[in-house]
Amino acid sequence: MKQSGQILLGVSGGIAAYKAAELARLLVKNGWSVIPSMTRTATEFMGTLTLASITEHEVHIDVGDHSPMDHIRTVRSSDLLLVAPATAHTIAKFAHGQADDFLSAAYLAHKGPSLICPSMNTAMWHHPATQRNLSMLRDDGVLICPPDSGELACGEWGDGRLAEAETILEYVAYSLSPKHPTLQGKKVVVSAGPTCEDLDPVRFLSNRSTGLMGFAIARALWCAGAEVVLVSGPTHLRVPAGVQMVKVRSAAEMAEAVHGHRNGAASVIMNAAVADYRPAYHPHKLKKDSFNGVLALNRTEDILATLGKDKNGCLLIGFAAETEDGIVNGRKKLIHKNCDGVVVNRVGIAGQGFESDTNQGTLIWRDGREIPLPMASKQDFANLLVTEIGDFMHDLAGIPNRDMAQ
């Protein structure tokens, strides 16, 4: 996942132009050098000084504003051309190759990837002419980050809101990430988060999983080119871009969702902290005076173990959250649940496992190899893990060339 370099950020003239300032700030914060370009109409919605200050680069409006051939020079050094917001007009100009300002000329001159984030009124978005233009751009290899649905500046409801800045950032990562030859186009099911086992309409049993690790794995898989189904227990996290999200609550619902989606999957990665026990459910609130203080618990299904009984060519990866004897316990789980790999990580200490932004662990393969996964942000940890999984599948298939395809 490429996470630094230069982005040419084009801003076209819609009401969402002001959101480009927040996007530029996020890109800069994430290590990108951002060269801003605005259409003339965009400068009526937001002054150039805002983007120039945030990015510390002059804003390009017309070809030759700052020096002759500056559109050519800028695209030569840019990893990505990103347009946010992209109006219907700019999309139409790109589709038809009209080059009458810096941004549209730069688009034609750019040989690398382009990412377009449309924003407009719903009727304009759904108009066959806009959809036709977008389909032409897709055919030309442009990646489209679809707009969100919701209340629009014009007062109407529907599709057309500029995607959230975090979502656009995920699309940036996707468009610049090398695709893994073994994972590309393959379906992978990932489970994430905790499960909640309801006791009555008010209370439940759960654990400290936040879902961060599983969501990061889903993001890394999407960036590597996989088709991802993310089955998650309750979390406060934003749905990652590009994945099929299945929200569940209990271990039983998670089991049903994972088994329901595993058909045709090349791999299932069980990262969820699934509750091992559930209480009997009381439809009415338990009153303290009539409760004897003892909870009767029943075992839930061990989803990973069930999957291990009938793998049918599916690569099965488990997680082992351990407070002690991690490698020994991880190996036991790998054998007992018939997994292909188990990621062991320590819980109960700061900086890894539950409720932490970072993680560290060891990936144990069924052939006995132990791969250390060094302390890193959960996203970097996930990126590394996904590359290891892709390489393992690659070796299993006996494919000689391990190079990543672009």
CA distances from 90 to 10, 103, 148 (A): 10, 9, 19
Count of Cβ atoms closer than 10 Å to residue 405 Cβ: 11
Verify whether residue 154 is a known catalytic residue. Answer: yes
Min dist. Cβ of residue 346 to ligand CTP (A): 11
The label of the residue with tokens 């049918």 reads 312
Q: Catalytic one among 154, 223, 314, 339?
A: 154
Question: Is residue 224 within 8 Å of residue 177, measured between CB atoms?
Answer: yes
Nearer to ligand CTP, 88 or 272 (CB): 272
Min dist. Cβ of residue 75 to ligand CTP (A): 45
Question: Is residue 377 within 8 Å of residue 365, measured between CB atoms?
Answer: no
Q: Which amino acid is at 327?
A: I
Min dist. Cβ of residue 304 to ligand CTP (A): 3
The label of the residue with tokens 């026990």 reads 277
Nearer to ligand CTP, 371 or 404 (CB): 371
- Strands, DSSP E only, in 96-226? 114-118, 143-144, 148-151, 157-161, 187-192, 197-198, 204-205
Nearer to ligand CTP, 215 or 319 (CB): 319
Nearer to ligand CTP, 91 or 321 (CB): 321
| b/e map 271-293, b = 16+ CB within 10 Å | bbbbbeebbeeeeeeeeeeeeee
Nearer to ligand CTP, 106 or 364 (CB): 364
CA distance 16 to 404: 37
Three-class DSSP category at 223? helix
Question: Is residue 126 within 8 Å of residue 159, measured between CB atoms?
Answer: yes
Min dist. Cβ of residue 353 to ligand CTP (A): 10
**Site residues, ligand CTP (CB under 6 A):** 251, 270, 272, 274, 276, 300, 302-304, 318-321, 333
Min dist. Cβ of residue 198 to ligand CTP (A): 16
CA distances from 78 to 5, 94, 104, 114, 406 (A): 7, 18, 15, 10, 17
Min dist. Cβ of residue 109 to ligand CTP (A): 49
Nearer to ligand CTP, 183 or 343 (CB): 343
Residues annotated as catalytic are: 154
